Chains A and B, each alone.
Chain A
Amino acid sequence: MTEAPHLILLLMGVAGVLVLATVVGQALQLRLDPRGTNPVLQNLNARITAWWGMVALLSIAFLAGRAGVILLFALLSFAALREFLSLTAKHAADHWSLAASFFVILPVQYWLIWTNWTGMYAVFIPVYAFLLLPVVSALHGTTKHFLVRVAETQWALMICIFCISHVPALLTLDIPGFEGRNVMLIAWMIFVVQLSDVLQYVWGKLIGRHKLAPNLSPSKTWEGLIGGALSASLIGASLWWMTPFSLTEAAGLCLILTAMGFFGGLVMSAIKRDKGVKDWGHQIAGHGGFIDRLDSVIFAAPIFFHLTNYGYAV
């Protein structure tokens, strides 16, 4: 495990940040709101508690190695797909294509990643599932809202299985001089993207004035976006020595990652508004659903995968 020292270092750093956040959160609670009536502080502390759980889960998966990481993201895909398909248009005629999404397409995609079949996992959902799944729905009756139904289902597959599976797919890249350390690509990417989310929230709460997309996400501000993306990129770039990238390359990738993460939040918010819900789910206290927490990673992972694949892998 040549990656272990860097991974342990990064995880300890994150744990340190969480200790600090917990102390600050509890101190704010005690000083400003001893009776526990302020919803913003309640939510902040619920979020910090949930972060402990998420970081613990991710750490266990990392330390368990390839199987652990692939299993964790397969389960996250399952949870995300369940949230997404709960909101999409469907009909009794779609029963078998929806069941196949969960019990055939999802396991097959992660099995392809497990077996390292790069050419196949890149096209399985965009080509094979895209063309064949609507056939199942078409054969089972009604054509009412057919295009809406199959299009929304395909979106669910792309977002919740294809995109999320590109996180563990980073393990399959063959980067000269970086052998055996690919898990650092995942740890670093998730760290940068999620740090950007957190810092956008912090900057926005501290100095946010100018709303960025009031119809979509009333809490997003220009100050939050710029402050969060830049500070997260700065911190991410300063960790370049853990990655296969040079300092400037790492900085450039950080800017792309934080931009994609931001776009992910925007697009997934637009879908929520369209469907009339505030959160994708309810299972992560303070955060909402799994997609609410993963939206930025969902958009960043495939782009990061392809840039790293074309630029650094053989």
Chain B
Amino acid sequence: MERLKAALQSAAALATGKAITLFARFVTAPRALWQGIEPDLTQRVYFANHSSNADFVLIWTVLPARVRARTRPVAALDYWLTSPLRAFIARKVINAVLIDRRPEGRVEDPVAQMAAALDEGASLILFPEGQRNSGDTPLLPFKSGLFHLASQRPQVDLVPVWISNLNHVMPKGKVVPVPLICTLTFGAPLHLAQGESKEAFLARAEASLLALSGPQP
């Protein structure tokens, strides 16, 4: 009985995952530009700009299935565990690393959780702005998580991913998406330099991401 339940649950998770990527393809026809890396199985931390909850879906959609299977989005527990459907998607479909954004009263350190996921062989999708950007500036200042992760696991490739147009597809608070083509530009990997300060590293990471936002051929 338990095994049947587990099998049904993983079938539902597979079907939901397929439905999500199909819907993403229909609405945004996402296009990946591999400028700095090839879409292979190298372990990476993909860090991207964040304007919509569909961001990780798009990255997830354009990654080849084999790469996608071992790539886990880092998502906010205080958002994803608020309803049973969200919790099902976060835990079973996208296999998210759920972190608590609220420092007070959290039991696990987010950076330690991410490092543990890396140690298990997973790649991560991370939004270092920490929240959705709905303003007019292209990028919010990065939180320090990316720096701490880079100093704890310095060998892992940090790959900037610029997602264009998604802020128009699904602005914060809207329920009906506007179908527009989104382009995802994958840049060259970054590493923490010897003795680099937090501020210098975060500025360099922000610049490397913004550099991908220009008009694409």
Contacts and interface: CB of A to CB of B under 8 A. Distances in A.
B176 A86 contact: no
A283 B31 CA distance: 9
Contacts of A79: 29
A77 to B, nearest CB: 12
B215 A277 contact: yes
Interface residues of A, number: 20
Nearest to B182: A86
Contacts of B217: 277-278
A95 B174 contact: yes
A99 B176 contact: yes
A102 B174 contact: no
A86 B164 CA distance: 10
Given A82-B29, A277-B215, A95 B171 contact: yes
A281 interface: yes
Nearest to B181: A86
B179 A276 contact: no
Nearest to B216: A277
B29 A283 contact: yes
Interface residues of B, number: 16
Contact of B179 (A78, A95, A282, A283): A78
Nearest to B215: A276
A86 to B, nearest CB: 4
B174 A85 contact: no
Contacts of A40: none
B61 to A, nearest CB: 14
Interface string B148-191: 00000000000000000100100100101111110000000000
A83 interface: yes
Contacts of A102: 178-179
Contacts, number: 39
B178 A99 contact: yes
Contacts of A255: none
Contact of A83 (B168, B176, B178, B181): B181
A85 B180 contact: yes
Residue among B31, B168, B181 with the highest chain A CB neighbour number at 10 A? B181
A90 interface: yes
A90 B215 contact: no
Contact of A98 (B178, B181, B215, B216): B178
A79 B29 CA distance: 9
A103 interface: yes
Contact of A86 (B171, B174, B180): B180
B174 A82 contact: no
Contacts of A95: 168, 171, 174, 178
B169 to A, nearest CB: 9
Contacts of A277: 215-217
A282 B171 contact: no
Contacts of B29: 79, 82, 281-283
Interface string A276-308: 111001110000000000000000000000000
Contacts of A78: 179
Given A79-B29, A85-B178, 10 more contacts: A82-B29, A83-B181, A90-B168, A92-B171, A95-B171, A95-B178, A103-B176, A276-B215, A281-B181, A282-B31
29 contacts: A78-B179, A79-B29, A81-B179, A82-B179, A82-B180, A82-B181, A83-B181, A85-B178, A86-B180, A86-B181, A90-B168, A92-B168, A95-B168, A95-B171, A95-B178, A98-B168, A98-B178, A99-B177, A99-B178, A102-B178, A102-B179, A103-B176, A276-B215, A277-B215, A277-B216, A278-B217, A281-B29, A281-B181, A282-B29
